[in-house]
Structure 1
Amino acid sequence: MTKSVTLLFAHGAGFCKEIWEPITRRLGESSLLQNAAVNTEFVTFDFRYHGSNRDESEPPQLDLSNPEAPRVHHSSGDLTTWTSAEILERVQALKSKSPDRLLIGIGHSMGACALWSAEIQQPGTFDGLILFEPVYGNANVDHIVNFLVSITLQRQSSWYVYSLTKHFDLQSSLLIDSTSRPLREAAEQHLRAYDNFSAWDRESLEAYIKGGVVEDKSTGQTKLACSPIMEAMLYCSRLMFCSDEQLARVKCRVVFHSGRRSKMFLPSIFEEMKGKWPRIYSVGEPIPRSSHVMVMEKPAAVTQKIIESLAELEPFRASTPQSRL
């Protein structure tokens, strides 16, 4: 009898649902997911303020009272609270539509925290979680926030190409009237040449451009869907942190993955969880030559990690006694 499972993908801060496309393409081509005994559905979405859910109705407030530690304030500053609430809403909609389907969450950074927090709040929400570097802990990370906010605020976020339309003004006797038009190509060329994205896989970069660059009809500009100041606000949020009682509530297997060069993931924290609750938590080997944004840098390696993790979870575990790939 064919079993059904939904893989729910949750992206990180500043990204969009399209960044999963290079990964879901590879997953769909894998022998694990081509197994006729399991019907697999992929679900991706944009968190609020990102991609197709872009929202600039409430401008963030920039605080430069300490120039060396810029901060951005906004009513959505409690990141884990509202992102996990959004996850729970989406899960409810999925389960009301297909109550018998198993549900496995796959997330990166902000999205990983949101999935994990949703399971902690409502144990049994998921049948498995595969999490790439949830930003978790109670350490003082002000120096990291200072750096992330500073470089993010410097990022170009809108593009114009100006062209002069000449006509003669009889009253002023001057050539006047310049008009501007948005040019998506300028934004795409800028992002393809952007040094901070140079380590990204080219297919992943194109996927990000596809969903992360939008035309703003109200201003006539081509913009990043998640503006730099909004992205910086997300970095100013308090880190996810839970008590032992909360961590032990989880009712599904949780696998953590990371990039070997990452400065945002402390393996010792997650190894300690594995030691306390080995039936819940496990930690994979770091992905070589990758950072916190390994999802963008190494989509093939990330896909392989997902396949290996899925092979240990139902319904794939029961369907693949030998071959995992």
Structure 2
Amino acid sequence: MSAAGQPTEKRFQHGKTDLCYFEWGNPADPTILMVHATGFHARCWDKTIAALPPDYHIIAVDQRGHGRSYKPDSLSDWSLMGRDVGALVTGLDLRHVIGVGHSMGAHALVQAAAIMPERFERLLLVDPTITDPDAYKNPPALSDIDPNNNPVSRRRNSWSSPEEMFAAFKDRHPFKLWRQDVLMDYCQYGLLPDDEDDNLVLACPPYLEASVYEGFRSLDPYPIVKKIELPTVILRAQMAGQDVESVRDFANSPTWPGLADIFPNAQELHIPELSHFMPMQAPERIAGYVANGLAMPV
């Protein structure tokens, strides 16, 4: 048996925070909170969730600016994503949470767990976007960040259907690395109706996605990381080569190789055969780490 099945779509509102989240299972069972990467959405976890054992209560959230959650003017301030996750955890009164975050979602989860460790049981950080400590020195002012400088801001934003988007992406790097059923979930749930015509637009607008990348230095995570005594597992993907194209390739890991040593209670597993998009490549394997930590065959 597994946690397969269609979830219930719900909303959480607290002040200016207006988040969509999806819920599977019985709230009386142990809770897994899943936080997606930049440009993605909650339903990118569907195939990982389907591979989990039964008897879990699962919540996957659309982060601000993503999926069906509200769209602010910018996502350059990474502290706001962490505050949202914390507000959701307290607002839903979640306890003994297994926190699972991918990429930027792992960064947001770390922020929340540092503020309210008593609500978490353990963390699984899937190739977190927590890079070399030197990268966070002398960050730019938020007012100086211009997402238009990032090429992601010019992504194609209009599609006739999820099938058209899938056909355009399936043979393109890095999407060709993904399992095709996961890519279809990304396309199916990653488009929303356009208010101006009959087409569909990306659920994370290109300008907002670009603002996340441009603002990654806005919050130094290392003072936060040092506070987290929760049992933590870090899955680290393939590393970039030395050439410029490799460094810019989103399939390569952004995770600093020394990160596990900064956490008071962390283990790292380096998985060089998988890319930064490991939940999209091997959802069953990631589900095993969610359920069992590193106590599973590798």
Tell me the TM-score normalised to structure 1 length: 0.68
Which residue in the other structure is 1:109 paired with?
Answer: 103
Tell me the distance in 1 between the aligned counterparts of 2:222 and 2:68. 35
- Higher-Rg structure is 1
| Number of positions where the alignment pairs a residue of Structure 1 with one of Structure 2 | 249
Which residue in the other structure is 1:124 paired with?
Answer: 118
Secondary structure, counterpart of 2:177 in structure 1: coil
Q: 1:271 to 1:88 in 2, by over 3 A?
A: closer
- After superposition, the CA RMSD in angstroms is 3.0
Which of 61, 84, 87 is the matching residue for 1:86?
84
Tell me the distance in 1 between the aligned counterparts of 2:152 and 2:275. 17
Structure 1 residue runs without a partner (length 5+):
29-33, 59-73, 160-181, 312-322
Q: Letter of the 1:250 partner, please give it.
A: I
Which of 228, 233, 238 is the matching residue for 1:255?
233
Secondary structure, counterpart of 1:42 in structure 2: strand
Q: Letter of the 1:214 partner, please give it.
A: L
Matched, 1:282 2:267: yes
Which of 254, 262, 265 is the matching residue for 1:273?
262
Q: Percent identity?
A: 24
Which of 22, 28, 31 is the matching residue for 1:6?
31
Secondary structure, counterpart of 2:46 in structure 1: helix
Q: Letter of the 1:273 partner, please give it.
A: I
Which residue in the other structure is 1:198 paired with?
Answer: 176
Q: Letter of the 2:127 partner, please give it.
A: E
C-alpha contact (below 8 Å) 2:36/2:101 kept by paired residues? yes
C-alpha contact (below 8 Å) 1:118/1:125 kept by paired residues? no
Runs of 4+ in 1 over 4 A off after TM superposition: none
Q: How does 1:1-325 map to 2 (within 5 A)?
A: 4-28=29-53, 34=54, 39-53=55-69, 55=71, 58=73, 74=74, 76-79=75-78, 81-95=79-93, 101-137=95-131, 138-140=133-135, 150-159=150-159, 182-239=160-217, 240-243=219-222, 246-261=224-239, 262-268=252-258, 270-273=259-262, 277=264, 280-283=265-268, 285-309=269-293
Deviation of the 1:214 alpha carbon: 1.8
Deviation of the 1:306 alpha carbon: 2.2
Deviation of the 1:194 alpha carbon: 3.4
Secondary structure, counterpart of 1:27 in structure 2: coil
Deviation of the 1:258 alpha carbon: 1.4
Deviation of the 1:51 alpha carbon: 1.0
* Greater relative CO, 1 or 2 (CA 8 Å, sep 6+): 1
C-alpha contact (below 8 Å) 1:201/1:297 kept by paired residues? yes
C-alpha contact (below 8 Å) 1:119/1:250 kept by paired residues? yes
Secondary structure, counterpart of 1:52 in structure 2: coil
Tell me the distance in 2 between the aligned counterparts of 1:184 and 1:197. 14
Tell me the distance in 2 between the aligned counterparts of 1:104 and 1:305. 11
Structure 2 residue runs without a partner (length 5+):
1-27, 140-144, 240-251
Q: Letter of the 2:220 partner, please give it.
A: F
